[in-house]
Every structure is written in structure tokens, then in C-alpha cells.
Amino acid sequence: MTNALEITNLCKSYKGFHLQNVSFNLPTGYIMGLIGPNGAGKTTIIKTILNLVMKQEGSIKVFGLDHQKEEVAIKKRIGFVFDTPAFYPHLNLKQLKNVVAPFYEQWDNTVFDDLLDRFTLPLNKPLKQFSRGMNMKASIAIALSHHADFIIMDEPTSGLDPVVRREMLDVLRGIMQDENKSILFSSHVTSDIEQAADFITYVNQGQVVFSKTKDDVNESFAIVKGGNDLLNASSAKSFVAVREGEFGFEGLSADVHASKKIFGEQAVYEKASLEDIMFYHNLKFKSTN
Amino acid sequence: MKIIISNASPEPIYQQICSQIKTQIISSELEEGAPLPSIRKLAQELHISVITTKRAYEELEKEGFIDTVVGKGTFVAIQNMELLREKKMKSIEDQMTKLVQEAQRMGIELAELQEILTILYTEND
């Protein structure tokens, strides 16, 4: 299995923020969702991949090529979307297309027109009259119109209504019918990631907490609930974090089988959503810092 | 082929796929050699991860229900004898269940039913 993206021990420091030894791989042919709270480092990671932010240490390989030495070759095959699209506001989509298209050898007008149609975007209206959602859709249409092998998106679904979000996820799934394509997207709309991603990488405070398949995440994490009498120093350790209430506790277990051995039938086990997983990891981060 | 995935079910999604495809193979709704959708197509249709559909197919292949031919796709396997027998037994059981229900509705006792069965069975010898 080849990797579309390989990040090894990536470090980058700003005043008051550090990416620390970030490592994860995205195999070719899959979608990876990058999740984490605001300020976790998602955008910094994406910008270092695109070499818009200079890394300080570590290595990044895209299609197996060094992201700095082979930058041009790589970027021809990448489509990217940023959370705030930066296009000339006085241009309309037709003019914008004429600006962007010549950069890509593989630009395909049929794909572009088809996407505009799906997203119901007007060709002749200047972008400054677009709503935030329309701007985002335009940005996505541009990113997807040159048969990119690797699509990188930073918060592509923010500002989109639920109907368009689904439409976009459908477009992504359509792209994934080709097993040579890969997608990396960050989002804090966890339902998008739950619906679309094959792999989930969770970052918090500049560190990768985990990077695994969605099935692994679904099968290992669980919310455990029970009476406070079940909690003691050793059983509390089995949780990522736990909240004690007046009538019982609720905790996130990273290994549901281990928890079942400890608490048996006395506790209740529920599927943990990505939101639960993020929430409890955040609790843990807060308590350790 | 019909597959309905429940996200609320505690059963993992790959197992839901496995058991539904198995049921359809055993009931001959999916016939021997029938083509199955590719893992990517199935993932797209069901709105689930490619990894999940891949795992379901791997499981079915391990149990001998389906075969993957590189470059051609995935097909319902030519059934082995044991599997075929199991399939036939299932079909007989289903028919007998209907028979028993019918008999119960008419108030026929078990002994009487067994007697009829014995007569019918030995008659053909």
C-alpha cells in the first residue's frame, strides 16, 4: 500500500504554540478526517504540507516525494480548499476560471461546469456578491476541476448549510470511486467526518492524540456510565477522563473490552461519538496542564 | 442485492453487511456466480467507509461465500457441498415451520403430524 501522505516527526513552533512530533500516514485511496478543537494545529499542519508555512523539523512526503524539493510536481496533482477562500472579489466565476485554469495542465471545463451546476452557482455574478456558503462551494469546485490525485481541505464544510454539506460529501465519495485518489480534510463538524472519513487523526495542542481507521475508533472507544461506588483510584485510571456527578459517573474508555472486564454488568456501555471522544480528551488535556 | 445498515445497532456495520449478504446467498436471492458491487461502489452507496466494506468482503471470502477475481471483481462463490447442504436444510426447515404453523392452526397434534410424515416418507421408498 503506497501512501499519499507521510508526515514524520513534524515540528513547528510559534510563540505560545508548538506542533510536537506530528506523525501520521494517509494511504492512497482513502479519506482522512483531521479533527481537533480550535487552535489544535489542524491548519498549521495543512499549511506545512503545502509549504505555505516552513516546517522546522521532520519530513513530509506527498506521493512519496519530498514536499519542498518536488513542490511544483506535487502541487499540480493537488487540489486545495481553505476555510476562507481568497479570490479576487470583483471577478465572476468565469473570469476566475480563466485565471486559475492555465496553472493546471489537467484542467477540465466539463468537470467544472458540472460542479457549478450541482452547486447551483452563477457564472456571471461577481464573487463579492456571493454568500459565504457560495464562496466555499466555488472554492471547492475550483479545487476539484483538474483531476487532482490528492485533495486537501481546511474546514471545507464550515459555513455550508446541511443540504450542501451532504451534496459535497457525495461529490467526495464520487471522487473516491477511483482508488488512486486521496483526500485529507479538517473539520470540527464531527458528523461530516463520521460520515465520510476512512481514517481519523485527532490533534490537540499540537500533538497527534491518535490516527486510526474509523472502525477502530468506533470499536475501541465507549462511554461508560455507572454508580459512583464503582469508581476507585485504580478503576478511574482505565478512563481517558471521567466526570463524576451526584448520581453517577460518566467516562470515556479507550478500550471497551478492558472496561467490561473491570466493571462487568454493573456499568452501562454506549458507543462514543467523535464529539464525546474530543470532549473527554480535552478534559484530560485541561487537567494535565 | 439489498442491504440496510442501521447506525443505531450495536452490531458493527461490517457484520451487518456480512450477515445480510449471507442470508441472501443462502436463500438463493443471490445466485452462484452473481457479481457483487465493488467495495468502493458499496461504500459510496451505503455512505460508509471503504475500509468497512473491504472488511466485510474479506470476512465473506474467508468463509467461502464469495470469491474475488483480480481485475474482474467479486462474485458469489460456487458453493461447496457443506454450505449447499446447510442452505437446503434451511429451506426445508422454513417449509416445515409453515407446515407446523398450519397444523397448529387446525389443532392437529404432534403425534398425528408425525404419523402423516412417516407415512409420506416411507411411501416413496
Q: What pLDDT digit, counting tens, does each position of A33-50 carry?
A: 999 888 889 999 999 999
Q: Cα-flanking dihedrals φ and ψ of residue A88, to 5°?
A: -65, 120
Å from A109 to nearest chain B CA?
Answer: 25
**Beta carbons of A198 and B44 less than 8 Å apart:** no
- Residue A279: all three cell numbers together: 470532549
Note the pLDDT of residue A277. 93
B50 with A29: Cβ contact below 8 A: yes
Mean pLDDT within A5-17:
93
The number of beta carbons lying within 10 Å of the beta carbon of residue B39 is: 21
Q: Is the dihedral of CA A87, A88, A94, A95 positive or negative?
A: negative
Of A195, A213, A218, the CB nearest to B47: A195
Band (pLDDT 50/70/90 cuts) for residue A21 is very high
The pLDDT value recorded for residue A183 is 95
CB-based contact A173 B10, cutoff 8 Å? no
Tell me what pLDDT residue A83 has.
80
| pLDDT (0 to 100) of residue B8 | 79
d(CA A77, CA A183): 12
| Confidence grade of residue A126 (pLDDT, cut at 50, 70, 90) | very high
Cβ proximity of A144 and A111 under 8 Å: yes
ipTM over 0.85: no
Is B43 within 8 Å of A214 when comparing Cβ atoms?
no
Using CB atoms, which residue from B10, B13, B44 is nearest to A173? Answer: B44
User: CB–CB of B50 and A30 under 8 A?
Assistant: yes
Write down the pLDDT at residue A196.
Answer: 87
Is the pLDDT at A223 greater than 80? The verdict is yes
Mean residue pLDDT across chain B: 88
Q: What's the pLDDT band for B21 if we cut at 50, 70, 90?
A: very high
Which residues touch A1 (CB under 8 Å, ≥6 apart)? A27, A28
What pLDDT sits at residue B37? 94
Distance from CA of B125 to the nearest CA of A (A): 55
B47: nearest CA in chain A? A195
> Pick from A174, A213, A271: which is nearest to B51 by CB?
A213
Grid cell locating A53: 508555512
C-beta atoms surrounding A117 within 10 Å = 10
Residue-wise pLDDT tens digits, B67-123: 998 888 999 988 766 776 777 788 789 989 999 999 999 898 999 999 988 998 888
Is B49 in contact with A173 (Cβ distance < 8 A)? Answer: no
pLDDT digits (tens, 9 = 90+) for A59-71: 999 999 999 999 9
Predicted confidence (pLDDT) at residue A57 exceeds the cutoff of 70 = yes
Q: How far apart are CA B122 and CA B125, in angstroms?
A: 5
CA distance B47 to chain A (A): 7
Spell A219-239 as b/e; 16+ CB within 10 A means b: bbbbbbbbeeebbeeebeebb
Q: Which residues of A touch B (CB under 8 A)?
A: 29-31, 173-174, 176-177, 179, 195, 197-199, 213-215, 218-219, 271
Mean predicted confidence (pLDDT) in A77-86: 86
Q: Span A250-257, mean pLDDT?
A: 91
Residue A284 has pLDDT above 90, yes or no: no
Report the gap between the CA of A13 and the closest CA in chain B (Å): 34
User: Which one of B49, B50, B52, B54 makes the best mutation probe of the A interface by having the most chain A beta carbons within 10 Å?
Assistant: B49
The 3-class SS string of B106-125 reads CCCCHHHHHHHHHHHHHHCC
B14 contacts on A by Cβ (under 8 Å): 215
Question: Is the model more confident about B124 or about A107?
Answer: A107
Report the phi/psi class of residue A207: left, alpha or beta, with left for phi > 0 and alpha for psi in -120 to 50.
beta
Q: What percent of chain A has pLDDT over 70?
A: 99
Distance of residue B16 Cα from the nearest chain A Cα, in angstroms: 13
Longest CA span, chain B: 58
Sequence-distant (6+) residues with CB within 8 A of A214 are A194, A197, A198, A199, A200, B49, B51, B52
B36: confidence class by pLDDT, cuts 50, 70, 90: very high
Query: Would you state the pLDDT for residue A88?
Result: 87
pLDDT given at position A92: 92
Q: Decide if pLDDT at A99 tops 70.
A: yes
Q: What is the pLDDT of residue B88?
A: 75
Q: Which pLDDT value is given to residue B81?
A: 60
pLDDT higher than threshold 90 for residue A209: yes
Does residue A14 have a pLDDT over 80?
yes
Q: Is A1 a residue whose pLDDT tops 90?
A: no
pLDDT surpassing 80 at residue A102 = yes
Does this model's pTM top 0.90? My answer is no
- Among A176, A195, A218, select the one facing B50 at the smallest CB separation: A176
pLDDT reported for residue B125: 63
CA distances from A120 to A18, A113, A167, A169, B41 (A): 41, 10, 11, 16, 26
